[in-house]
Chains A and B, each alone.
Chain A
Amino acid sequence: MPYIEMPKLSDTMTEGTVVKWRKGVGDPVDVGDVIAEIETDKAVMELEAFDEGILKEIYVAEGGKAQTGQKLAFLLGADEDMPQKDGPSGRREKSGATVAGRSLAAPPKAGTVASRTAAAVPGDRVKASPLARKIAGAKGLSLSSIQGSGPGGRIVARDLESAPEAARPARPILVPETPAGQGDRRIPLSSMRKIIAERLLASKTQIPHFYLNIELDAGELVRLRTQLNVHLEQAGQGKLTINDFILKAAVAAATKVPRVNASFAGDAVIEYADVHLSVAVAVEDGLVTPVIRRAQTKSLREISGAVKNLAARARTKKLKPEEYQGGTLTVSNLGSYGIKSFSAVINPPQAVILSIGAIVKQPVVNALDQIAPGHRLAIGLSADHRVVDGAVGAQYLAELRGLLENPTWMLL
């Protein structure tokens, strides 16, 4: 009996939760070994193996529920072969395990979230021929959503010919392209451009964006920054930029409204405990979003230093993958380019992105109904409506406005 099923551990038990896997995929299992901890309606109990073999596949991740009798894992005996991958049972999607198992460090390629559970088993490498990988790369197809018809379930070239249109994260352009003629330049996509194209197309087509805009009085912010920089200059230290304050405020406001520091995970919304702040940095032929980890624990000076360091290394392409992956909230600032306001595309799988414009000097009507010179700053919020509703977005912007109009609050 190679499948390990959810046992009936009490008279009233109809389903159980896998609290913990004590054995991982690839581990040898002996008769009597505890392979998992199962929570029933009454207690957490140990699940022992009745057979020996190698634990080849786990179908229900930790935290996932399964009904009694449902397959939890596959144990391969010494002289047995793997079964064809027709899925362990029709009920697997109920557990939602594969989605929860995704770490924020590796955001999924957009477009595969819904189909991923259909073919791939978590932790299992997708078997595909080199040619199939090449074709998939060229067509922008995701292999994880394709069922292989080759020996041992290997994905081969013919499987990509018949791959459903829906599996394509980047749909082919419907508009015929204008061919490059004499004097025109045809610039092959760099790998960065390809990723930008894929991710942002997926974002715009799969995330229901909505947009909120505010304009705030940045007078105090400008004054405080000038004051602090005079002091910093005398002390021989690096100056603070307006953006440093905005980043600090974006993080501080997110700790007040944690719903924006979140992502959509299929059957749940994940609100992250830490604010890992992505900062959009323009680089040659593209942009990257290096991440300031646990930004809510960092002071204004620390954020300022971190951004300088990350941006400089981003421009020279010296960032390590962990330095630009796993962000939970993004700030994009085009103020230094003289852009007054704009609406950025969400950086998936995040829920919101802030679009920061330039501080513009212009006449404003002040509290005394007088026309006076003022510093105005426009901020846009693009939000994933599956996670954030209009009122929540507005609440976040109100927090942000409070902090930026009264920047000394950030000292608290």
Chain B
Amino acid sequence: MPVITYRKALNDALAEELARDENVVIIGEEVAQYNGAYKVTEELWKRFGDKRVVDAPISEAGFIGLGIGASMLGLRPVVELMFWSFAFVAYDQIVNNAGCIRYMSGGLVNLPLVIRGPANGGTTHSHTPESSLANHPGVRVVCPATAYDAKGLMKTAIRDNDPVFVMENTLLYGETWEVPEEEYLIPLGVADVKREGRDLSLIAHGRAVMTSLKAAKILAAEHGIKAEVVDLRSIRPLDEEAILQSVRKTHRAVLVDENKPFCAVSAQIAAMIQEKAFDDLDAPVQRVCALDAPAIYSPPLEKQQLPTAERVVEKVLSIA
């Protein structure tokens, strides 16, 4: 099976869908001639032309609004945000318009729209808005952790008839995984157990899944603890059953989350676990989140801000 980067997997997904459906278009800053700020749209403009891959000015509210209008008239736009942190200037378009149109039209208007881009970075570029966006009914939010998931989820997102927000990660773009050549789709709302274990569940999404897998290796090698790693893949819809199934097996959960802790995705999951699996818990549900501060500039401290495998191990040992 070919081994490709996360970036290439996304590029393949976009290319395949552009080729498959003439209604698919790509809009964004520097997505066409410059091949995308992170080169996710490499070669697509050359291959599919001006009408399918459109460079937009630095005006997120404008070009996301453009995407919404195009979607309402039958196209399937994929809008790139250079960083998801820039979504905030277009919040009205994303939440009020994209998120509410199906409801406000009494179900008559579909809104097939993908907004994608990296959801990590520097102080004003590094927000992880999956928790705040997933708060809104009417939208879907996915956070692929591997190249395989990125490709499968992106293709499903483009074919979905509701707005789907795909949160990528600059630190994963260059990482490689095995991805099959034949076509596949990954349904939204289905989690994936990335490592089986019986002692404890590490539940994560996005890059935190990689951190969890590292921690699971250390736990097995140094502490004899067999941790299961559950990759949510999709934040909304959320695969509650997969989470509960794992917790019912291991009776302990540590949630690993690159969100800031307050109102994070992991806070939602912790509430859900205690509500639905209370009698199965043998320890309090714990969380390892980003440190609750703006992105830290000091390089040594910056390394500590996002969850590290060491912090995960330490948290696990506190309830083992």
Contact = CB atoms under 8 A, between A and B. Distances in A.
Interface in B266-320: 278-283, 318-319
B251 interface: yes
Query: Which range holds the interface residue count of chain B?
Result: under 10
Chain B residues touching A, majority SS:
helix
A294 B16 CA distance: 86
Interface in B111-157: none
B319 A131 contact: no
Contacts of A150: 282-283, 319
Nearest to B281: A130
B318 A130 contact: no
A290 B85 CA distance: 67
B279 A156 contact: no
Given A129-B282, A130-B278, A156-B282, A151 B319 contact: yes
Interface in A333-367: none
B318 A131 contact: no
Contacts of A133: 279
Interface in A118-156: 129-134, 150-151, 154, 156
A129 B281 contact: yes
A157 B282 contact: yes
A154 B320 CA distance: 12
Quick one: which of B280, B282, B283, B319 has the most chain A CB within 10 A? B282
Nearest to A150: B283
A132 B251 CA distance: 10
Contacts of B279: 130-131, 133-134
A59 B13 CA distance: 69
B318 A151 contact: yes
A129 B283 CA distance: 6
Interface string A150-171: 1100101100000000000000
B280 A130 contact: yes
A162 to B, nearest CB: 14
A104 B277 CA distance: 36
A180 to B, nearest CB: 26
A168 B267 CA distance: 38
A348 B278 CA distance: 33
Contact of A156 (B280, B283, B318): B283
Contacts of A130: 278-282
A154 B284 CA distance: 11
A130 B252 CA distance: 11
A150 B318 CA distance: 9
A203 B211 CA distance: 56
Contacts of A134: 279-280
Interface string A94-130: 0000000000000000000000000000000000011
B148 to A, nearest CB: 34
B274 to A, nearest CB: 9
Contacts of A129: 251, 281-283
A154 B282 CA distance: 10
Nearest to B251: A131
A154 B318 CA distance: 12
Interface in B239-287: 251, 278-283
For the complex of A and B, the 7 pairs showing the least CB-CB separation, nearest first, are: A131-B282, A129-B282, A134-B279, A157-B282, A130-B281, A130-B279, A156-B282
Interface of B: 251, 278-283, 318-319
Given A130-B280, A131-B281, 10 more contacts: A129-B251, A130-B278, A130-B281, A131-B279, A150-B282, A150-B283, A151-B283, A156-B282, A157-B251, A157-B282
29 contacts: A129-B251, A129-B281, A129-B282, A129-B283, A130-B278, A130-B279, A130-B280, A130-B281, A130-B282, A131-B251, A131-B279, A131-B280, A131-B281, A131-B282, A132-B282, A133-B279, A134-B279, A134-B280, A150-B282, A150-B283, A150-B319, A151-B283, A151-B318, A151-B319, A154-B283, A156-B282, A156-B283, A157-B251, A157-B282
